[in-house]
Amino acid sequence: MSPVSHLPARALAPRRHDEILRRLGAQGSVSVAELAGFFDVSRETIRRDLKLLSDQGRLGIVHGGAARFEPSEPAMSLRSQENAGGKAAVGRAAARLVRDGMVVFLDSGTTTLAVAHAISELRDLTICTASLKIALHLCHVPGMRVHMLGGEVDPGEEAAVGIDTLDAMARFRVDIAFLGGGALSPDGEVTDFTRAGAEQRGRMIALAGKAYFVLDASKFGKLTPLRIPNFERAAGVIVDANPELALAEALSQKGPELIVAA
């Protein structure tokens, strides 16, 4: 038992770690000097703490301290300009699969935003989405009922993510879903950047009558870390250009149909 005496009660390592993470959450960054002064330990000790937390992937080390991770991908406004023509073609191909009166789920992402524009021509759709921009666009189209899924907003995606989103999704009966993805891997599978994203897409496949991935050619052959559950049960993958033969075969063997937009 540690004596509860008058000793200066030096902070134990886990206590320091907790406080460091708390400050990170509150201020976004911490400095070695600050922390060393606060805990009254040497800078080396703080650095060792930061190294440890960094190895656990809970913060990023910068010169002079540490900072919270910011996924900081290129702003969405920039991404949506890339290969705009291809995305539009994918959007039109996707729209041809939709019939008046359907319940449509639209995932977040720039290609699904193109789908949202393409289906503006249709009537009497019920739209279900976690993307702020898609909701904002389609809510002004007459004859559309738009349901926004709630959750914590991911600035990179400009969309709700997380447990609340999964929860809200489960309440819908969806006729057709259009999903984004991080990459179309060489073995014919769509993969994702984040655990939360992969989970969300996987559940939507299970939930929707038919689920299609929409991807543009820039995603071919890339690799991202997370497999999407239920991928083989997706109805198809809509792309804007012919992928390599090997990739196409690998995909069709998994199950989903390959649709190449004109």
Contact footprint for a copy of itself (CB under 8 A): 3-4, 9, 12-15, 18, 26-31, 33-34, 36-37, 56-58, 62-65, 67, 70-72, 74-75, 77-78, 101, 123-124, 132-133, 135-136, 139-140, 142-143, 145-155, 158, 160, 164-165, 168, 171
Query: How many Å apart are CA 245 and CA 262, to the nearest integer?
Result: 18
Query: Residue 173 binds what, of a copy of itself, DNA, none (CB under 5 to 8 Å, by partner type)?
Result: none
Instruction: Tell the residue number behind the tokens 């052959």, with chain if given.
Output: 221
With respect to a copy of itself, which residue has the nearer C-beta, 67 or 260? Answer: 67
With respect to a copy of itself, which residue has the nearer C-beta, 14 or 262? Answer: 14
Query: Residue 57 binds what, of a copy of itself, DNA, none (CB under 5 to 8 Å, by partner type)?
Result: a copy of itself
Among 43-51, 79-87, 198-206, 240-248, the segment contacting DNA (CB under 7 A): 43-51
Query: Residue 45 binds what, of a copy of itself, DNA, none (CB under 5 to 8 Å, by partner type)?
Result: DNA
Residues 59-78 that bind DNA (CB under 7 A): 61, 63-65
With respect to a copy of itself, which residue has the nearer C-beta, 120 or 230? Answer: 120
Query: How many Å apart are CA 46 and CA 37, to the nearest integer?
Result: 10
Strand bridging mode 183-185 / 125-129: unpaired
Q: Any residues with CB less than 8 A from the CB of 95 and at least 6 apart, and which?
A: 115, 118, 119, 121, 122
Give which of 215, 201, 196, 185 is closest to 110, Cα–Cα. 215
Query: How many Å apart are CA 153 and CA 108, to the nearest integer?
Result: 11
Instruction: Tell the residue number behind the tokens 């250009």, with chain if given.
Output: 241
Using rule CB under 7 A, residue 48 touches DNA: yes
Query: How many Å apart are CA 148 and CA 223, to the nearest integer?
Result: 30
